[in-house]
Amino acid sequence: MNKSASDTIAAIGTKPGEAAIGIIRLSGNKSVKLTEKIFRQKNRKKISQMKTFSMTYGYIVDKKEEMIDEVIITLMKKPKSYTKEDVVEINCHGGMAAADKILELCIKNGARIAEPGEFTKRAFLNGRIDLSQAEAVIDLIRSKTEQSLKVAANNIKGIVKDRIEELRKRILDVLVELEASIDFIEEDLEVTPYEVLEKNVIEIQKSIDELINDEKRGEIIKNGIKVAIVGKPNVGKSSLLNVLARKERAIVTHIPGTTRDAVEEILYIEGIPLIIADTAGIRKSKNIIEKIGVKKSFEYISKSELVILVMDGNTQIDDNDCEIVEELQGKNIIICLNKIDLKQITSKKEINKKFKLNDIIEISAKKNIGIDKLEKKIKTLVLGEEEFNIESKIIVNNRQKNILLDASGMLKHAIKAMKLKMSEEFPSSDLKLAYNLLGEITGQTTTNEILDGIFGKFCVGK
C-alpha cells in the first residue's frame, strides 16, 4: 500500500502505569466515520455530532455485531487536536488483546497502521508544535513507539534534562583538564592528577548506569512483566494462579492435563503488574489438543521474562521435570515446590543438588502456605533488594536509555585507557563522544564549552 500524508492512521498506545488499559488512537479525515462503523451506544448519538474534547461510553462491535469490548471514546476535532486533524481515541479496558482486535477492526475499515512517530510528525508538519516542545519533537521523531514519545515529551523539560546537564558538566570538568594539558603543555598549569580524573570518570559512569537501571525498573513498574507458570501436569499450576489472583480463575481438577489452553491474568504483586499465564502441563502426549497446549506452553516460556516452575513435593522428580528444566536454560526462574502440606517425597535440597538452582520456595497452593514468601521473591528478583520508589526516581525513556548505554560504554573505554596510563588524547576522544551523546538527549553540543572551561579555569597565555 502506498503511504500518504492524507491517510487516516491508527496505532495502539498504552498509558504508562496502566497496563490493563489499551488506547487506540486514530487521526485523519476518516477517523470519525470509521469509528461510527464499529462503535455502538445506547442513545445512538453519532460521534460526528459530539462536541470536541468530549467523551462517550459504549461498545466496539465486529462485523457480526458481536461485542469486542466496552470502551470510552474521546473526540478531538480538527484543528484543535494533537495532529491538527480529526482525532479519535478509543479507550478499551480489556488489555492488549482487546486493543489488538480493535486496531484490526480499524484497519479493516480503512485506516492504516501509523509509522513510528507519525502522529507527531503530522503535528509538526501541520504546524502545531512550537519551539517550547522543540526537543521533545526530536525525541518523538526518533523514538520507536508513540508510547515512548509521550514519556519523552514529559520528561525532556524537567528532571531528566537537569540530571543529564549535571552529568555533562561532570564530564566537561574532566575534559577541560585533559584538553588543557594537551593545548597548553608549555604553561605552568595546576592540572588535576590523572588518577583523580580517572576516579571521577568512574563515578560518572556509575551515575549513568544507575539511570539505566532505574529505567529498566521503571519500565517494569509502568508496563509490567510477563510471567509463565509451568510444570508437568497436575503439580498445581492452576491452583497457584488462583491463589495468586485471589479468585477462581483457572479450572482445577485432580486429572492431569486439565489445563489445555493457557489462561492469562493481570495481577499486581507488591505494586508490580504481572501479566501471568497458567499453562498446560508439559508431558509427551498423543492427544492432539493436549499437544497443541504443550506447544503453547513452550511459546509462553520463550515470551516470558520470569518463569515460575512448579514441582510436586509429593511425587518423585521424573524425566518430565528434567526436560522442562532443560528447556528453561537462560531464563529467570523461581521454583515452587508445591504440596508441602502432604508427605515430602522430593526435598528442596534434592532439587538444588540435581538442577543447581537456588530460588526454591516451598508452598502449598491449596492451603495458601508460603505464598507471601513467593511474592517477596518475585519482587526482589524483578526490582532488586533495595526499596524502589518510582516517584523519587528519574525515569528516562527508551531512546534516552539507549543513548545512556552508548555513553556508558564510551566512559568504560575511557576508564580502560586511563588505567593503562594512555595519554590524554585517548580518554579525551571517548569523553567527547560521551559528552556529545548526552548532548543529544538535551539537544545541544558545542566544542566552545570545552574551551570556555579551559579559559575559565586555567591561567593560560600565548
Ligand X SMILES: Nc1nc2c(ncn2[C@@H]2O[C@H](COP(=O)(O)OP(=O)(O)OP(=O)(O)O)[C@@H](O)[C@H]2O)c(=O)[nH]1
Taking phi over 0 as left and psi of -120 to 50 as alpha, with beta for the rest, 424 belongs to alpha
From Mg ion, ligand X, another protein, none, interface partner of 236 (C-beta below 5 to 8 A by class): ligand X
**Residue for cell digits 500524508?**
5
Q: Does position 235 bind ligand X by CB under 6 A?
A: yes
Q: Which is nearer to ligand X, 94 or 370 (CB)?
A: 370
Q: Does position 233 bind ligand X by CB under 6 A?
A: yes
Q: In angstroms, give the least distance from the CB of 169 to another protein.
A: 17
From Mg ion, ligand X, another protein, none, interface partner of 131 (C-beta below 5 to 8 A by class): another protein
Q: Which is nearer to Mg ion, 256 or 443 (CB)?
A: 256
Write out the residues near another protein by the rule CB under 8 A. Answer: 124-125, 127, 129-131, 134-135, 137-138, 141, 179, 182-188, 190, 420, 422-426, 429, 432-433, 440, 443-445, 447-448, 450-451, 454-456, 459-462
One-letter amino acid of 210: E
Nearest residue relative to ligand X (C-beta):
281
Considering only residues 275 to 314 of the shown chain, the ones binding ligand X according to CB under 6 A are 281
Secondary structure element (H or E) that encloses residue 295, with its range: helix 288-303
Q: Kindly indicate which of the ranges 23-31, 64-72, 99-107, 246-254 contains the residues binding ligand X, using the contact rule CB under 6 A.
A: 246-254
Residue 194 cell numbers, joined: 590523572
Burial label, 185 (beta-carbon count in 10 A; 0-12, 13-18, 19+): exposed
Q: Which is nearer to ligand X, 77 or 366 (CB)?
A: 366
Continuous H helices in 73-226: 95-108, 118-125, 134-142, 146-157, 159-183, 194-223
The footprint of ligand X on this chain (CB under 6 A) covers a number of residues equal to 23
Cβ neighbors of 48 (< 8 A, separation 6 or more) are 32, 33, 36
Instruction: Encode 322-352: b = buried (16+ Cβ within 10 Å), e = exposed.
Output: eebbebbeeebbbbbbbbbeeeeebeeebbe
Judged by CB under 6 A, which of 8, 27, 155, 364 binds ligand X? 364
- The C-alpha atoms of residue 27 and residue 76 are separated, in whole angstroms, by 9
Q: How far is CA 57 from CA 77, 105, 107, 190, 247, in A?
A: 18, 18, 22, 70, 28
Q: Which is nearer to Mg ion, 103 or 229 (CB)?
A: 229
Q: In angstroms, give the least distance from the CB of 113 to another protein.
A: 23
One-letter amino acid of 79: P
Judged by CB under 6 A, which of 342, 357, 405, 460 binds ligand X? 342
Contact in structure between 114 and 154 (CB atoms under 8 Å): no
Judged by CB under 6 A, which of 339, 377, 399, 432 binds ligand X? 339
Q: Tell me whether the omega of the peptide bond preceding residue 193 falls within 30 degrees of 0, making it cis.
A: no
Phi, psi (5° rounding) for residue 345?
-100, -40
Q: In angstroms, give the least distance from the CB of 246 to ligand X.
A: 15
Q: In angstroms, give the least distance from the CB of 186 to another protein.
A: 7
Judged by CB under 6 A, which of 16, 236, 273, 427 binds ligand X? 236
From ligand X, another protein, Mg ion, none, interface partner of 341 (C-beta below 5 to 8 A by class): ligand X
Residue 211 cell numbers, joined: 539511570
Q: In angstroms, give the least distance from the CB of 386 to another protein.
A: 37
- The C-alpha atoms of residue 294 and residue 282 are separated, in whole angstroms, by 6
Q: Does position 393 bind ligand X by CB under 6 A?
A: no
Q: In angstroms, give the least distance from the CB of 443 to another protein.
A: 5
Q: In angstroms, give the least distance from the CB of 438 to ligand X.
A: 50
Judged by CB under 6 A, which of 42, 44, 254, 286 binds ligand X? 254
Instruction: Encode 275-314: b = buried (16+ Cβ within 10 Å), e = exposed.
Output: bbbbbbbbbebeeeebeebbebbbebbeebbbbbbbbbbb
Q: Which is nearer to Mg ion, 258 or 442 (CB)?
A: 258
Which among 363, 436, 425, 438 is positioned nearest to 399, based on CA atoms? 438
Q: Kindly indicate which of the ranges 45-53, 326-334, 336-344, 426-434 contains the residues binding ligand X, using the contact rule CB under 6 A.
A: 336-344
The SS3 call for residue 239 is: helix
Q: Does position 150 bind ligand X by CB under 6 A?
A: no
How are strands ordered across the β-sheet holding 360-362?
263-269, 272-278, 225-230, 306-312, 333-338, 360-362
Burial label, 443 (beta-carbon count in 10 A; 0-12, 13-18, 19+): middle
Judged by CB under 6 A, which of 366, 393, 412, 413 binds ligand X? 366
Q: Does position 257 bind ligand X by CB under 6 A?
A: yes
Q: Does position 399 bind ligand X by CB under 6 A?
A: no
Judged by CB under 6 A, which of 8, 31, 304, 338 binds ligand X? 338
Contact residues for ligand X, defined by CB under 6 A: 231, 233-239, 252-254, 256-259, 281, 338-339, 341-342, 364-366
